[in-house]
Amino acid sequence: MSSSGWPQTKRGTGILSSCAEENPHWHNANIVFIPYCSSDVWSGTRPAPAPPQRPGQARERDRDYAFMGSMIIREVIKDLAPKGMKQAKVVMLSGTSAGGIGVMLNIERVASQLSQLGAEAQVRGLVDSGWFLESKRQRSPDCPEAISCSPEDSIRIGLRMWNGVVPDRCRQLYRKGEEWQCFFGHKLYATLSSPVFIVQWLFDEEQLKVENIYMGGQSLSEEQWQYIQNLGNEVKNSLRHITAAFAPSCLSHTVITKSNWLSFQVRGISLSRALYCWDRSLEATRNNRTPAKGCPFHLVDTCQWPQCNPTCPVLVDRSTQQELTLLQIIIHNTTGIFVHVYVLL
């Protein structure tokens, strides 16, 4: 991954937008966007290798790269501190997908760093589509290359390559070599002291891809349909004890940077509204006040099926680029699940 082709400017969308209609609660916030180029889930601390000492001396193949995701975040905070961040009351560290995992991996270090720099800001986390569950695929401890490994083995291999770091309190729960477990939010969350809001589609497309399931692009076996059904319940169960969450029963990936992020709702409440309620509740708690009633911020869909939420993003057929309903996908697939049609109608 390289930053060489990046544009010099970027228009913020969704929660990064400066437009009040698109981003009603945070359009006037000071926003810093940190692009992802480190390929290490923001965990790496391995600097660029030194050049060969002798002409013609070869480098080791796996030593040609730098993985400095965690250090990038640290340097950005260090750079921003004298530019107004030390006077901030709230700093919200947000991320999507790998960036969402990166938020959980780094939020405690960011809070500690700001405190050491003399800032009094409360650091909060917003994790979008980074709440993954372990794969059902068979793990192979002797997996030779990350691309053919399960996600767990890929992270295990990556941690060594990246010189990756995880939060201390989580790391202490696992023996050496098992630190990869801290990349899974449902294991890491309880060890965090900073408040974190979890945004997660119940049927995340990237989670499905791990199991070689591509909605709208293939015929699915009955076993794959069963996995999809079970996934929603497993994600819901993993969010049961999370303080702040927004989880629509949809097939998609990432939310907060979409221009139409306000259109997605759970129980009639948008993510922007839920985040606002969470923010107000945290402020009330900080000031020893009672949080306002009727302003919920734990919103998890109760319907059982993918796309059962009427505000879900549309599905698209990969070959024709035409919009699909879940009913069309079911009819196109195996006869073993036709009984589900009656549940959906």
Active-site annotation, residues: 97, 204, 253
- Report the Cα 95 to chain-centroid distance in Å: 6
- Per the CB < 8 A criterion, the answer to whether 249 and 312 are in contact is yes
Q: How many CB atoms lie within 10 A of CB 263?
A: 12
3-state secondary structure (DSSP) of residue 128: strand
Strands 244-247 and 269-270: unpaired
Measured distance CA(332)–CA(319) in Å, rounded: 14
- Per the CB < 8 A criterion, the answer to whether 211 and 135 are in contact is yes
> How far apart, in Å, do the first and last CA atoms of the chain sit?
44
Q: What one-character-per-residue DSSP string does 249-303 give?
A: S-EES--TTSTTGGG-EETTEEHHHHHHHHHHHHHHHHTT-PPPSS---EEE---
Question: What residues contact 311, with CB distance under 8 A and at least 6 apart?
Answer: 248, 263, 264, 265
